[in-house]
Structure 1
Amino acid sequence: MATIGTFTRSAGGTFTGAVKTLSINAKTTIKPADKASDKAPDYRVFAGSSVEFGAAWKKTSGEGRAYLSVKLDDPSFPAPIYATLVEGEETGSYSLIWSRRNGD
């Protein structure tokens, strides 16, 4: 596991920060989405202000902690990036943790 992003959360529920890997360095916003169905994402992920490159779903861990399951994808990626957005050790901070898996 590796931290590939750091974020803060606004009062409106939007997360603002950056995603940084060897091939990505993007100011990123994770905004609440209008859900069209139960399976639709709870959030949309944007690079800059308008380029959508992912989605996130609300989840709860076995210990009862809330987190976001994030999927980042773009035609330039060899495969989707799966990550988890969790609350950090500092109040109001969130970490995007990358993991190699096949998705949910």
Structure 2
Amino acid sequence: MTAIGFVTRNDNGGFRGELKTLSIRAHIDIVPSAKSTEAQPDFRILAQGVEIGAGWIRRGESSGKDYVSLSLAAPELGSRKLYANLGRAVGLGDDNGFFLIWNPGD
């Protein structure tokens, strides 16, 4: 599993942290989104006030636990979308810390 960032959960249910790859380093906010239909994302991903993606709450097939699946797109990322899941940062002493785990399979 490749971590491409780290975020911390906010009091409002969103997340704040950093997206980091070999060529990109950006502070990001993952903010709750007001949904009017089930298909709309649960979160919007912002970098410097610009929307660069969205996130959906999914349920793990084997674990049955909820997680957040992210989809990011911006010119800096090239022509393909970048997919990641939020995974708990076990062992860092903070229950509110999550890694952005790159998901190349989506």
Q: Distance in 2 between matches of 1:53 and 1:17?
A: 14
Superposition map of 1:37-52 within 5 A: 37-48=37-48, 50-52=49-51
How far the C-alpha of 1:88 sits from its partner, in A, is 1.5
**Partner of residue 101 from structure 2, selected from 84, 94, 97:** 97
Unaligned runs of 5+ in 1: none
Q: Distance in 1 between matches of 2:75 and 2:98?
A: 27
Q: Distance in 2 between matches of 1:3 and 1:9?
A: 17
Displaced runs of 4+ in structure 1, greater than 6 A?
A: none
Q: Distance in 1 between matches of 2:30 and 2:2?
A: 19
Superposition map of 1:1-104 within 5 A: 1-48=1-48, 50-61=49-60, 62-76=62-76, 77-89=78-90, 90=92, 91-101=95-105, 103=106
| Partner SS for 1:40 | coil
Q: Distance in 1 between matches of 2:96 and 2:51?
A: 24
Amino acid at match of 1:96: L
How far the C-alpha of 1:26 sits from its partner, in A, is 0.3
Q: Distance in 1 between matches of 2:75 and 2:16?
A: 23
How many aligned positions are there?
101
Q: Distance in 2 between matches of 1:60 and 1:83?
A: 15
Q: What is the identity percentage for the equivalent residue pairs of Structure 1 and Structure 2?
A: 37
Q: Distance in 1 between matches of 2:101 and 2:88?
A: 11
Q: Distance in 2 between matches of 1:36 and 1:63?
A: 28
CA-atom RMSD, angstroms?
1.2
- TM-score, with structure 2 as normaliser: 0.88
Unaligned runs of 5+ in 2: none
- TM-score, with structure 1 as normaliser: 0.90
